[in-house]
Every structure is written in structure tokens, then in C-alpha cells.
Amino acid sequence: MIGGDGAIPMRATRLPATASQGAMVIGNTHPAATVDYAGRTLRVTPYGTFVFGIGRDATGEVVLRIKQPATAWIEHRVAITPRDWPVENINGVPPATVDPPPAIAERIEREQARVVAARIRDDARTGFAQAFAWPVEGRISGRFGNQRVYNGTPKSPHSGMDIAAPTGTPVKAPADGVVTFADPGLYLTGGTLVLDHGHGISSNFLHLSRIDAKVGDVVKQGDVIAAVGATGRATGPHLHWGMNWFDVRIDPLLVLERK
Ligand SMILES: [Zn+2]
């Protein structure tokens, strides 16, 4: 055989056997490996770490195809653990935010498209691999994935977790990242900030009363980036913290509880 491939040792790929719906999954393999999942080639760190998310409604198993320099393609399977998704009734929401008139619906669509664009970057930073910290201390007042019924009308499942805290409470970066979106006044989500933790993993913070960072700011875990509020479609002051792997929404609570 010609070439150096034979000299590069194979490295055991590490992945959990199971993962919950809404989980962020971190794996490890050869740093020079190609890792394919869900139509993407995942970015691999110089330490061989890669990450992906499992959607709320994913079932069965996920399959990753990994090729290390010294191996053929190998399939790795992670079984998905299903969860229960309770129904949550939320009443007293301003009707115009539940069934907005066409002009407002158009505005919402435009604003959401800007937020989505901020979440599809594939950045080399590695904040996603840190142990995440709570952005504010408080009671969980709304869980990820719950089926939400606003004023009696069923809407999309809750896309993040809500933490009850008074208006003005500082919001701290749960992990290192770069600010990729900051707007004090979106119609539905009010003061909105997106933090990119790398490899497609991002946090979004909604209903903020104040934003202390601007797009392009590189922040460290624990840095104050904003303040809790009740702007946009909110019934009271709280921090809505959503997380994504690209366009797949994941559960921040599972990220916090990772071992
Ligand atoms: Zn929320």
C-alpha cells in the first residue's frame, strides 16, 4: 500500500447508546474523521469532538456514518428515548399576539426569518462542549416541548424553557459564544438575543427588558448579556431560554443536566 493512511491509528468512536428527544448529543472520534448525520457533515474539533441535536418529535434511532482516515464508513446508532409532552394552558395573552392580523403576521414572519438566519451558522468555536450554567436563577415556569394552548387555541410546542425572575434580573451567558442577533423589539419575542456556541449550537433569549451586548460581541460563560423582562408575547416577567442545533430545537434543561 502506498500512502500514510495505514500509519494513522483508528480511534474508538464514543457516542451514548441512547439519548432523549430534545437532547444535545456530544460524541468523540478521530479528529480527522468525516461524520455524516441528517444530511450534514458535522464539524469535528481538533480533539475529535462533534455535536448534534435530536428533535422533540424524533423517534426510533438516529444513524451517524463516520469515516476515519484508517477505516471504511462505519454506522453508529443512537436509540431515541421518548418523552411525555404535557399540555399547558396559557390564558390572558393579548389576543392580537395569538391570532395576529395579516400585516402583523407578515412582520412576525420577517422577524423570525432574521432569527433563523442567525442560527444556521456553523462556527468553529467550542462553547457547546462546556458544562452549561443557568443564565438566571429561578423556578422553571415552563418546560421545553409542552403542547401550548393560548387562550384556548393550540399553538406550536414550547420551544424552550422559561425561568421565572423579576424584570431587570441580569441574564448571564450559559456558555462561551458570540452574539449573532440582538433586537430590542420583535413583535412576538420582544427583546431577543441569539448566542452562537459553535458547531450549530445556539441559545436564544426572549422577552428581554434590556440587551447589553451587540452582534459580534464574543462573550464568556457568566458574562452579563441582557436583563429579564416581559416584552413581546409574555404574561409576566421571565426568561425564555431556547436552544438549537441549527434548525432543530433542543431542550436547555437536558443541556444543563448533561454529565
Ligand atoms: Zn417560553
pLDDT at residue 2 in the model: 42
Q: How many angstroms does the Cα of residue 234 sit away from the middle of ligand 1? A: 8
**What's the CA-to-centroid distance between 43 and ligand 1, angstroms?**
30
What is the whole-number distance in angstroms between the Cα of residue 142 and the centre of ligand 1?
6
The Å distance, Cα 68 to ligand 1 centre, comes to 41
CA of 162 to the centre of ligand 1 (A): 5
Separation of 171 CA from ligand 1 center, angstroms?
15
HSE-CB of 245 using CA atoms within 13 angstroms = 25
* Stated pTM of the model: 0.92
Chain-centre distance for alpha carbon 54? 10
The rounded mean pLDDT for the chain is 93
Distance CA 195, CA 173 (A): 8
Backbone angles phi, psi at 133, to 5 degrees: -115, 155
Compute, in angstroms, the gap from residue 185 CA to the centroid of ligand 1. Answer: 16
pLDDT of 144 higher than 70: yes
| Domains of the chain, earliest start first | 5-81 (2.60.40.10), 87-256 (2.70.70.10)
Q: What tens digit of pLDDT does each residue of 187-236 get?
A: 999 999 999 999 999 999 999 999 999 999 999 999 999 999 999 988 89
Residue 143 CA to ligand 1 centre (angstroms) = 8
Separation of CA 249 and ligand 1 centre (Å): 13
> Side-chain half-sphere of 105: how many Cα atoms within 13 Å?
6
Q: What is the pLDDT of residues 53-108, one digit of tens each?
A: 999 999 999 999 999 998 999 999 999 999 999 998 888 877 877 778 888 899 99
Quote the cell numbers at residue 28.
468523540
Q: How far is CA 39 from the centre of its chain?
A: 19
**CA 160 / ligand 1 centre spacing (Å):** 6
pLDDT tier at 7, thresholds 50, 70, 90: low
Ligand 1 centre distance from Cα of residue 117 (Å): 20
State how beta strands 201-208 and 210-211 pair.
Answer: unpaired
Q: What percent of the chain has pLDDT over 90?
A: 81
**30 C-alpha to ligand 1 centroid (Å):** 38
CA separation for the pair 208, 211 (Å, rounded): 7
**How far apart are the CA of 214 and the centre of ligand 1, in A?**
22
Based on DSSP, count helices (H) and strands (E) in the chain, helices before strands: 3, 21
